[in-house]
Structure formats: C-alpha cells, structure tokens
Amino acid sequence: MSLDRIVAYLSRTEEAIVDEVRSLPHVTALLTPSLPLVWQLNAVRVEDPSAGARELIAAADEALGHASHRKLVVHDEQLGLRLTPTLSRDGWNVYRLLVMVRDRAPERTAAQGAAGEVDRAGGARALAAFRREQPFGWQEEAVQQLTAMDERYGRAVRARDFASPPEDPAASCRLYTADGLAQVDEVGTVERRRNRGHASAAVLAAADTAAAEGCDPIFLLTDAADWPQHLYRRLGFSAIGQLYEFLKLPFGSSRP
C-alpha cells in the first residue's frame, strides 16, 4: 500500500538527517542539538499506539531537554486523533498533515519552460527568500539552520531543486527521490509574486520529472487546515491519509 511505503520512507529519512536517534519507552527520539532552531530535527516520534498523552509528554520532556520546544510526530492517524483532545487542552498546537499522492492528470498545466530544475545554489537562494518572509524569518540564524537541514536531505536521498521561472525564481520546491518513491516538499512563493501560477509550475515540473523516472508513488505533505491542498488537488494529487504533529512552543515563538 502506498501509505505504508510513504510512512516507512519518512521514518527512514527522519532518522538519516538527525544527529542522534535514541530509543526511549513508547518513542524514538530524533535529536539534532547542533541545529536547535530546526524543530523538525528535534522531535519525538511515537512508536507505541497504546501510549497515553501523559506518557508521551514525559518522553518529550526527557528527550528534548536541550530544546525550548516540544514536538511529537505521529504517523498513525487513529493515534493522532486519540491524542488530540488531551494535548490540545494542554496547550499543544495540533497539525494534521494530509498525505497526497499524484494519481491522475492535472487540471492545469504550465507553459513550456515556465519551470525547471535549478542548481542547489539557486534553489537555496529561492527557498531562503521565501523563508525570510515567514513569521520566524526575522531570525537569520533560523533561516541558516533550515538551509543546513536541506543539505542533510541531500546526503540522505537524491535531492533536487525546481523553480519558476528558472532564471529568476518567484517560487521553488524540492524533489526527494529514494527507493522508487518521490516527495515534493518545501513549496513556496515570495509574497510580491504570488497568484501568477509560479508554485503550480514548479510543483508540476518536479512531479513530471519524478514520473518520467518511474517513481511511484509521488507524494507531498500539506496542512489539512490550509488552502494549498486545493491547489494540489488541481495538480493531480489526492489525499490518502493523515499524519499528525503536536508542537508546544515557548511563549512568543512562531513555527519554522
């Protein structure tokens, strides 16, 4: 089943890009004290579907003592649903991530040459420009640590950058391929050039490249509470499941 393969790939990749993987009761700790501002690399993945919220909070406190945040990653949709009420009441932010796979032709297309693969330096510049416009973007160290995370992906899987237009990017995304799967990730458009089809063109270029290489499934993750899911549906992606992330932030922080 595609969802099982995707979850297995995500687990392998999560472990490949962190400084340390540590087994604890109920969880796997994914630790990167060298990049403390990248919450994605400092998290606790829940492994025990019978674990209660209090046990998992204690595990996160134990594992993430070096960090100012707490993060739980849950790949089991039913477990995430069960944990949501308690963690939400305790002040955790709840993120439902749709797992969307490309399973049909897109409803919209891009003009030839509107997007294409760019080198790592160009992709990094485009992605950094987008990140600087996010709520955490005032903190240059956070932007730099996220760029360091991108480089780790390049060592763990085959990672490529796509942009639209390629010569002067307004939007970009990353394409990760491994074990016959492909993930489109880090989609973003700089604010002053939005609503012109640039993100669609970049995603289509990445997904078409993966399809031409025989990758199956081609997937992406997107917030179930936000609008990009509707764009991705028009680009030929359908939801096949949900993952959960639970995040407790220090006062006044924004999600990187």
**pLDDT tens by residue, 142-155:** 999 999 999 999 99
Q: Which residue has the higher pLDDT, 13 or 255?
A: 13
Does this model's pTM top 0.85? My answer is: yes
> What phi and psi values does residue 236 have, to the nearest 5 degrees?
100, 10
Amino acid code (one letter) for 215: C
Q: Is the dihedral of CA 152, 161, 209, 189 positive or negative?
A: positive
pLDDT 10s digits, 223-248: 999 999 999 999 999 999 999 999 99
Residue 23 CA: distances (Å) to CA of 30, 96, 163: 9, 25, 38
> What phi and psi values does residue 9 have, to the nearest 5 degrees?
-60, -45
Question: Is residue 2 scored above 60 in pLDDT?
Answer: yes
Contacts 24+ apart (CB under 8 A), 10-19: 10/75, 10/243, 11/45, 11/75, 12/178, 13/153, 13/156, 13/157, 13/176, 13/178, 14/43, 14/45, 14/73, 16/152, 16/155, 16/156, 16/157, 17/41, 17/149, 17/152, 17/153, 17/155, 17/156, 18/42
**What average pLDDT does the structure give for the chain?**
95
214: left (phi over 0), alpha (psi -120 to 50) or beta: left
Nearest Cα residue to 111 out of 34, 198, 172 = 198
Question: Is residue 171 scored above 80 in pLDDT?
Answer: yes
Q: What is the pLDDT of residue 253?
A: 54
Q: What is the token pair recorded at 170? A: 């307004």
Q: What is the pLDDT of residue 108?
A: 85
Q: What is the pLDDT of residue 252?
A: 46
pLDDT 10s digits, 59-112: 999 999 999 999 999 999 999 999 999 999 999 999 999 999 999 999 988 988
Burial class of residue 193 in the structure, from the number of CB atoms within 10 Å of its CB (0-12 exposed, 13-18 middle, 19+ buried)? middle
Q: What is the pLDDT of residue 254?
A: 55
Domains delineated in the chain: 2-98+244-248 (no CATH), 116-239 (3.40.630.30)
